Structure 1
Amino acid sequence: MPSGHIVTFTRADLVRAVNAFLETYGTAEGDFRTDLEHAEPLHFWEAAFVRQTLADASRLTGQWHDEISKTYYRYENTHSTDRFGNPECWIANDTDWNDDYSWAVQFALAAYQVTGDRHLREQAKWHTDFFYRGYYDDAYGGGFWRERGTKDQKDVPSNGFAIAAAELARYYPTETVHNDPLGTGRTYLEIAKDTYDWLKDSFLRADGRFENSFSGREWDGNLYTYNAGVFLELAANLYDLTKDRSYLADGVRVADFARTHFTTGSGQLVVYEDDVDGKGRYRPDPVDSYEIVFKGILLRGLSRFITLGGQTQYLDWLGTNAQASYDHRTGDLPSAVFDQAVGNARGTGAACGLAAMTYALMSTAAEPSPR
């Protein structure tokens, strides 16, 4: 790695850590328990982060193909019904937020890359089409709605569908999807670019902070690592598809702000979120708060920004966070909070440590050249 930082853990250590995670948090059915003291499964959006992390670790190491297929079909078999013309439509619950499904879509695409099971890619495509067709419009200037039933908020997380659209553009470069509210058809690349432009215009500030939502709710201006990660991953994909360097310039602003604002210590370990209008910077509870997963989303976006965008100046930062999580492990389970060991952790917190390790090794193996 540049800057003299080299992680000491290896792929073999990652394999051991993932196996420990599956043994500790995985269930026989293919779900993931909430924490070490509570066996009830994580909500499917959190589980989707775990599943995508597992898929990425598999892509790096060549292992766990059967586990990935099993956990995908566990999700589909327990969260789908015959609706909207799709016998395996995932939208069985009309109260789920739209961003929940964007994570399921992104996991399905990652799992397809590992398993080659075309059903997963087709399901990712169908659900992306469904949400774009009916729940993207020009209210507030563009973007996906957060909820289908109550259209009162547009936020950054729900626009993770643009990441899926960028991925689908590689498989279906000329196909268009008709948007009913706008009365127009757009290619997947155009969907991703339109959404990116709206996100940038709406939420990106001059110093690189990336705000959260439109609606009048008190946390509109909050700063989350989650949102920075979504934007970085989308920017990385769009640069890779278009070679337009403006995506890199925008991403650098966001990454640089995140590196100073959400971190602690000389290693700049990612530990904070920011409730701007309330308590200010805070550390999510590693057991009781689903927000513990947000930093994992940031690191995934950062990894894509490094590998697809060639932004090697962030390798050292990514590696330092991964190393800290590994150094503060409990047994073979990496730390959920990175800068200290925790005896119990939410499943997605432990998975953040796995993600950090996976992406540090993956980014180093890719050996991207600065662009």
Structure 2
Amino acid sequence: MKKTYMLLLTGFLIAAASCSKGNEGVKTETTKPGNSTTTDSPTFTTTDATTAYTAFNRYYYNPTKKLYYANTLQTNLGAIWTQAIYWDMAMNVYERTKDQSQMAMVNDMYQGGFNEYDGYNWGNTTTWFIYDDMMWWVMALARANQLTGNATYLQKAIAGFDRVWNGSYDPVDGGMFWDFKHSGKNACINFPTVIAAMRLYKITGNKTYYDKALSVYQWAKTNLVNSDGRVADHKIGNNAPGYEDYTYNQGTAIGAAIALYNETKNSAYLNDAKLIADYTKNKMCTNNILPAEGDFNEQGVLKAIFAQYIMQLIKDAGQTQYLSWIRQNVDAGWNNRDKQRDLCWRNYALPAPTGVMQSYESSSIVTFMQLCPPE
């Protein structure tokens, strides 16, 4: 999951690991995408949402492992942290359809993670080697408890949160370190920590979770969010923030702000979320279409995370001014799918390849379709 970035500071070259997710495996040749579809393509429907999810499972889900493959070759499972994102997708489908067979899928994926990742043993530093990998699962476990009422899911979420907090939080300067070596404080651990803490606060009523969420949010807003709503990827020591425009950082920052807004109704948090959404729409998009992240690497899943939280801004906070923009993206991505397999791609503006594809790059449109109401 690591990508290396270089910083030239006071004459020394410093290498550090970024939370932006890196390459996995060898890229396999695919057919080259052609020209984009026309703007008068049909709009997606709820039937399409089901079709997209069915196809995603057909080509990527391993029913024995109860987790997802990395790509259509079906040889290796996807990266550990992305499975938590796919679990969120499964929960989205259940919330949309209320289909009890989908509830079984939600529970199956918990068992798949349990079997594959040492029973969610957070002390296993071989299975879990980065704090943010744990926190994606903690968020999903807490949400699964909210959805199912299963107390075991909550116990695992609390234990995971405590493990990350005790190892990652900086009690002196504030904020969360993303790795065990404390090489930097990244958006991919700080904003998810706020979201996880607020979910645990809602479930348990334990105010220490709220206090932790507020502390981390204040640090992250001060150190990782620019005045125009641009979210930095990382901050190392006293150096300036490292800005790399990633949709998942924009998304989790929105999600953290909305979690606090929902609890407090303080309009300052809502304004933060809208500022971050506006930057994403106005500065990161081309013709309103979100960037094509993930050239055959885990970054393909980033927009699936963004989908989760921009839709919270729209639905939970009533900010429907963003809905037509999101629908435009969903329509573009769905109409440009590989129509033989109904698999979507990371680049919504171009037709999807017809060869080997990754679950990462196929996931975001499917996620959007479960969350975004059709016209």
* TM-score with structure 2 setting the length: 0.81
- Equivalent residue for 1:261? 283
Q: What is the rounded CA distance, in whole Å, between the counterparts of 1:131 and 1:7 in structure 2?
A: 45
1:35 aligned to 2:71? yes
* Superposition map of 1:320-335 within 5 A: 320-331=328-339, 332-335=342-345
CA contact (8 A) 1:6 1:319 kept: no
1:107-151 C-alpha deviation (Å, 9 max, x unpaired): 222333443322112211221122223421235x31111112x12
- Equivalent residue for 1:145? 177
Task: After TM superposition, give the deviation of residue 38 of structure 1 in Å.
Answer: 4.7
Q: Which runs of 5+ in 1 are unaligned?
A: 82-87, 177-186, 273-282, 366-371
Q: What is the rounded CA distance, in whole Å, between the counterparts of 1:122 and 1:341 in structure 2?
A: 44
Task: After TM superposition, give the deviation of residue 91 of structure 1 in Å.
Answer: 4.0
Among 220, 231, 234, the residue aligned to 1:199: 220
Task: After TM superposition, give the deviation of residue 336 of structure 1 in Å.
Answer: 2.9
* Superposition map of 1:2-21 within 5 A: 8-21=43-56
Identity %: 24
**Change over 3 Å in CA distance of 1:56–1:113 after alignment to 2:** farther
CA contact (8 A) 1:48 1:107 kept: yes
Q: Secondary structure at the match of 2:226?
A: coil
Q: What is the rounded CA distance, in whole Å, between the counterparts of 1:338 and 1:156 in structure 2?
A: 25
Task: After TM superposition, give the deviation of residue 199 of structure 1 in Å.
Answer: 0.7
Q: What amino acid sits opposite 1:239 in the alignment?
A: Y
Q: CA RMSD in A?
A: 2.3
Among 107, 110, 129, the residue aligned to 2:143: 110
Among 225, 228, 241, the residue aligned to 2:250: 228
Q: What amino acid sits opposite 1:20 in the alignment?
A: A
CA contact (8 A) 1:209 1:223 kept: yes
1:297-341 C-alpha deviation (Å, 9 max, x unpaired): 222211111122221111111111112121112232233321122
Q: What is the rounded CA distance, in whole Å, between the counterparts of 1:155 and 1:20 in structure 2?
A: 34
Q: What amino acid sits opposite 1:52 in the alignment?
A: D
CA contact (8 A) 1:236 1:247 kept: yes
**Change over 3 Å in CA distance of 1:196–1:219 after alignment to 2:** closer
Q: What is the rounded CA distance, in whole Å, between the counterparts of 1:112 and 1:327 in structure 2?
A: 35
- Equivalent residue for 1:358? 370
* Superposition map of 1:47-66 within 5 A: 47-63=83-99, 64-66=102-104
CA contact (8 A) 1:163 1:234 kept: yes
CA contact (8 A) 1:7 1:320 kept: no
1:70 aligned to 2:78? no
1:26 aligned to 2:61? yes
**Change over 3 Å in CA distance of 1:222–1:336 after alignment to 2:** closer
Q: Which runs of 5+ in 2 are unaligned?
A: 1-39
CA contact (8 A) 2:294 2:346 kept: no
Q: What is the rounded CA distance, in whole Å, between the counterparts of 1:204 and 1:134 in structure 2?
A: 24
Task: After TM superposition, give the deviation of residue 218 of structure 1 in Å.
Answer: 11
Q: What is the rounded CA distance, in whole Å, between the counterparts of 1:298 and 1:11 in structure 2?
A: 20
- Equivalent residue for 1:270? 290
Q: Secondary structure at the match of 2:70?
A: strand
**Structure with bigger RCO (C-alpha 8 Å, 6+ apart):** 2
- Equivalent residue for 1:278? none
Q: Secondary structure at the match of 1:264?
A: coil
Q: What is the rounded CA distance, in whole Å, between the counterparts of 1:12 and 1:295 in structure 2?
A: 22
Q: What is the rounded CA distance, in whole Å, between the counterparts of 1:7 and 1:213 in structure 2?
A: 40
1:157 aligned to 2:188? yes
CA contact (8 A) 1:98 1:158 kept: yes
**Change over 3 Å in CA distance of 1:91–1:52 after alignment to 2:** farther
- Equivalent residue for 1:336? 346
- Equivalent residue for 1:167? 199
CA contact (8 A) 1:208 1:254 kept: yes
Q: What is the rounded CA distance, in whole Å, between the counterparts of 2:55 and 2:323 in structure 1?
A: 26
Q: Secondary structure at the match of 1:35?
A: coil
Q: What is the rounded CA distance, in whole Å, between the counterparts of 2:135 and 2:152 in structure 1?
A: 17
CA contact (8 A) 1:47 1:348 kept: no
Among 304, 317, 339, the residue aligned to 1:309: 317
Q: What is the rounded CA distance, in whole Å, between the counterparts of 1:43 and 1:69 in structure 2?
A: 20
* TM-score with structure 1 setting the length: 0.82
- Equivalent residue for 2:27? none
